[in-house]
Structure 1
Amino acid sequence: SATGRAGQPIVSYWLGKIGDAQIGPVYLGLTGVASLIFGFLAFEIIGLNMMASVNWSPIEFVRQLPWLALEPPPAELGFCVLCPLDQGGWWQMAGFFMTTSVLLWWVRTYRRATALGMGTHVAWAFMAAIWLMIVIGFLRPL
């Protein structure tokens, strides 16, 4: 039943031809909104640094996109909490915002499952994927 839900769903005939025709209602809550904000910050840091690395040229950005990256701090700096921005600091900031975004989305997933009386096994599987992301993307480069 749809008791306790706010808003009306949108039904699309054409989306129904390829999958689910119903869009919404979507409940984000505080953790969902915070997750989207932190994710946008990470995306913005990565995108602006990549644009700056090609001298703000959209053509070069598209051409070199597969090779553009934010680099982690060099080994000479060792483990520094706040590295200089041009020596891995942007990588640290983007990683922090992305990890915070994903963890907040996990909290949202867990809380929605418990609020709807569902099992939390999907949230725990998502946490295993988050742990893999942290180990491969953050701990290993350090």
Structure 2
Amino acid sequence: GRAGQPIVSYWLGKIGDAQIGPVYLGLTGVASLIFGFLAFEIIGLNMMASVNWSPIEFVRQLPWLALEPPPAELGFCVLCPLDQGGWWQMAGFFMTTSVLLWWVRTYRRATALGMGTHVAWAFMAAIWLMIVIGFLRPL
């Protein structure tokens, strides 16, 4: 069931929904947030390093900064060198783990609340598309 008491904000009610919470994360939700944070940090710190740690250059070049996949010369390597696509593999692993853990959380919350799991399965279709386009195709 649900736990906790919601907070009602008068000012948020002026522009939309006034209720804040309750939010239940559970173990899979917390793990998902941790893995997502790790992926975000790997991507962000590598982009900062590519502009020599300059915040001004980071903002200026942000649309062109990227974490590149391994080059074709390496073929399919499980543990590529970090500077040749290894960071991309690590960030992809952490991001995919984060999204899959969030799917587990969504599915478990739906079943715990007696709701249908159709939203979780639609989310899984989007996850599959993300994996195919963002991970399998570049390899």
TM-score (norm: length of structure 2): 0.98
Shift of 1:86: 0.1
For structure 1, which runs of at least 5 residues remain unmatched after alignment?
none
Q: Which residue of 1 aligns with 2:111?
A: 114
Residues 1:138 and 2:135 are matched in the alignment: yes
Q: Which residue of 1 aligns with 2:14?
A: 17
Give the Cα–Cα distance (whole angstroms) in 1 for the partners of residues 63 and 9 of structure 2.
35
For structure 2, which runs of at least 5 residues remain unmatched after alignment?
none
Moved more, 104-113 or 5-14: 5-14
Shift of 1:6: 2.6
Report the 3-state secondary structure (helix = DSSP H, G, I; strand = E; otherwise coil) of the residue aligned with 2:69: coil
Give the Cα–Cα distance (whole angstroms) in 2 for the partners of residues 17 and 121 of structure 1.
32
Report the 3-state secondary structure (helix = DSSP H, G, I; strand = E; otherwise coil) of the residue aligned with 1:119: coil
Shift of 1:57: 0.3
Residues 1:60 and 2:77 are matched in the alignment: no
Identity %: 100
Shift of 1:44: 0.3
Query: What are the Cα deviations for residues 75-100 of structure 1, in whole angstroms up to 9, with x where unaligned?
Result: 00000000000000000000000000
Shift of 1:13: 1.2
Shift of 1:10: 1.2
Shift of 1:15: 1.1
Query: What are the Cα deviations for residues 45-101 of structure 1, in whole angstroms up to 9, with x where unaligned?
Result: 000000000000000000000000000000000000000000000000000000000
TM-score (norm: length of structure 1): 0.96
Shift of 1:8: 1.9
Moved more, 18-27 or 8-17: 8-17
Report the 3-state secondary structure (helix = DSSP H, G, I; strand = E; otherwise coil) of the residue aligned with 1:26: coil
Shift of 1:7: 2.1
Q: Which runs of 4+ in 1 moved over 4 A?
A: none
Shift of 1:9: 1.2
Query: What are the Cα deviations for residues 14-62 of structure 1, in whole angstroms up to 9, with x where unaligned?
Result: 2112211101010000000000000000000000000000000000000
Give the Cα–Cα distance (whole angstroms) in 2 for the partners of residues 65 and 12 of structure 1.
36
Give the Cα–Cα distance (whole angstroms) in 1 for the partners of residues 4 and 110 of structure 2.
20
Report the 3-state secondary structure (helix = DSSP H, G, I; strand = E; otherwise coil) of the residue aligned with 2:78: coil
Give the Cα–Cα distance (whole angstroms) in 1 for the partners of residues 97 and 113 of structure 2.
24
Report the 3-state secondary structure (helix = DSSP H, G, I; strand = E; otherwise coil) of the residue aligned with 2:132: helix
Give the Cα–Cα distance (whole angstroms) in 2 for the partners of residues 136 and 5 of structure 1.
37
Moved more, 6-15 or 33-42: 6-15
